[in-house]
């Protein structure tokens, strides 16, 4: 047993070599393939970032239009997927539904495909990026009892997603470019984040050579947890609760509860395993948050005011300062999504949609790594030593 070192939570163990994403948590720096996230968010759209993450370089004009055409060509899902979806209870959590839907894609694009062939892997990657918006929107429409809206491939990737979410057959749907840009930015900021829990899950699951849709479905299941992608949902729930109990006036009481050693309450949307400085994504999300609130005339919305006051108080509080707990991307992304009209229980699905490209890029990198092996962590055994099985009559 002495041969292995226990590193709970992988605090100091690298699980792979990777060229995709770089984070400097002390500086608050995030690079995708060497490009700073601020630069990408300012100059590129989400599909350009997808191309970058998968291929290693930004697309030129021709590569960009070819890639976009290919993605938009694959936005429809098999009609049978509807029957599968209709098997879920209407009140099922959309993340449970999404885990099931993406897992079911493994049945549509099944094991007879040889994923050691780069072409087969490429088509799986295209299908996943292209179909995630359709599946997420279907899960939403089903939960609210509205008819599914088919993709419109003449729209941009993100505008098409918003239309599939919010249009109904009885009204004309107008795409608002400011809101589309805001959601596109959410996608860019969530596209990859090196070896977080869900990405490590995709790598570990995929390392057995399993079907990529199955591996991504495992990633979605992991992302659901409140310590990971579920944080934006948990953050909005927290804000709603404070609001229901008295709003801004009650922030002091809530913070005292968070600081109480005997309570398990956390300030959701604050703190990060890697960032011990401002999360760079949070800075960009905060800008987007103000843009969206202005566009929609929501600056005076009580919940947004509450969030901004809570942020200010926490950033000045010794407890958070000494532990280097800053707002993370989820603190603001929940607020922006709420303003866009996305219901709280859909937030993590939006995260999954955006992170799909990161999972795919990491899976591809693993499969093509010459040193790649099935993931097989070891353990420090702390149980009983070898002992005899007593007959049932002799057991106490």
Residue 323 sits in the site that holds ligand CMC (CB under 6 A): yes
Please give the DSSP secondary-structure letter assigned to residue 368.
T
CA-to-CA distance for 258 and 8, rounded, in angstroms? 24
Contacts of 91 (CB under 8 A, 6+ apart): 143
Instruction: Identify which of 131, 121, 107 has the alpha carbon closest to the alpha carbon of residue 209.
Output: 121
Least CB distance from residue 360 to ligand CMC, whole Å? Answer: 18
Residues carrying an active site annotation: 272, 330
Q: In which residue are the tokens 């398990």 written?
A: 264
Residue 163 sits in the site that holds ligand CMC (CB under 6 A): no
Which of 59, 103, 212, 271 touches ligand CMC by CB under 6 A? Answer: 271
The 190-209 contact track toward ligand CMC, x by CB under 6 A, reads: ---x--x-------------
The two tokens of residue 190 are 């969530």
Least CB distance from residue 315 to ligand CMC, whole Å? Answer: 13
Bridge partners (DSSP) of residue 91 are none
Q: What are phi and psi of 393, to 5 degrees?
A: -65, -25
Name the residue nearer to ligand CMC (CB basis): 73 or 319: 319
Name the residue nearer to ligand CMC (CB basis): 124 or 284: 284
Residue 78 sits in the site that holds ligand CMC (CB under 6 A): no
Which of 272, 286, 338, 355 touches ligand CMC by CB under 6 A? Answer: 272
Considering only the stretches 24-32, 46-54, 59-67, 326-334, report the one whose residues sit in contact with ligand CMC under the rule CB under 6 A.
326-334
Residue 267 sits in the site that holds ligand CMC (CB under 6 A): yes
Please provide the DSSP assignment of 130-144 as one string: HHHHHHHHHHHHHHH
Residue 258 sits in the site that holds ligand CMC (CB under 6 A): yes
Q: Report helix, strand or coil for 258.
A: helix
Name the residue nearer to ligand CMC (CB basis): 133 or 219: 219
CA distances from 130 to 10, 67, 177, 278, 379 (A): 33, 11, 21, 32, 39
With CB atoms as reference, the residue minimizing the distance to ligand CMC is 271
Q: E-strand spans in the chain?
A: 21-24, 29-32, 35-36
Q: Which residues bind ligand CMC (CB under 6 A)?
A: 193, 196, 227-229, 231, 258, 266-273, 323, 325, 328-330
């Amino acid at each position: 047993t002495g041969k292995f070192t226990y590193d709970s939570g992988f605090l100091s163990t690298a699980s792979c070599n990777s060229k995709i994403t770089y984070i400097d948590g002390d500086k608050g720096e995030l690079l995708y393939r060497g490009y700073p996230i601020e630069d990408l968010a300012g100059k590129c759209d989400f599909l350009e970032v997808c191309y970058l993450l998968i291929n290693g370089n930004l697309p030129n004009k021709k590569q960009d239009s070819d890639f976009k055409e290919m993605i938009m060509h694959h936005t429809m899902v098999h009609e049978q997927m509807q029957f599968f979806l209709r098997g879920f209870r209407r009140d099922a959590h959309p993340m449970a539904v999404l885990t099931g839907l993406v897992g079911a894609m493994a049945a549509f694009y099944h094991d007879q495909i040889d994923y050691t062939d780069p072409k087969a892997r490429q088509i799986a990657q295209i299908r996943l990026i292209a179909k995630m918006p359709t599946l997420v929107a279907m899960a939403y429409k089903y939960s609210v009892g509205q008819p599914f809206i088919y993709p419109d491939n003449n729209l941009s990737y993100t505008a098409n997603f918003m239309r599939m979410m919010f249009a109904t057959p009885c009204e004309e749907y107008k795409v608002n470019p400011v809101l589309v840009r805001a959601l596109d930015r959410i996608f860019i900021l969530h596209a990859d984040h090196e070896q977080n829990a869900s990405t490590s899950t995709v790598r570990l699951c995929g390392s057995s050579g399993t079907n990529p849709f199955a591996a991504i479905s495992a990633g979605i299941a992991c992302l659901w947890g409140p310590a990971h992608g579920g944080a934006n949902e948990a953050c909005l729930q927290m804000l709603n609760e404070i609001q229901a109990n008295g709003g801004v006036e009650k922030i002091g009481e809530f913070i005292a509860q968070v600081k109480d050693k005997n309570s398990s309450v956390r300030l959701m949307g604050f703190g990060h395993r890697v960032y011990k400085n401002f999360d760079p994504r949070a800075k960009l999300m905060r800008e987007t948050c103000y843009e969206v609130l202005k566009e929609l005339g929501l600056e005076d919305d009580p919940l947004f005011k509450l969030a901004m006051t809570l942020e200010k108080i926490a950033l000045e509080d010794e407890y958070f300062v000494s532990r280097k707990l800053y707002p993370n991307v989820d603190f603001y992304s929940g607020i922006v999504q709420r303003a866009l009209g996305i219901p709280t229980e859909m937030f993590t699905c939006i995260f999954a949609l955006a992170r799909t490209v990161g999972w795919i890029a990491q899976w591809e990198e693993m499969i093509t790594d010459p040193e790649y092996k099935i993931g097989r962590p070891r353990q420090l055994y702390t149980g009983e030593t070898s002992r005899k099985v007593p007959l049932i009559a002799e057991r106490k």
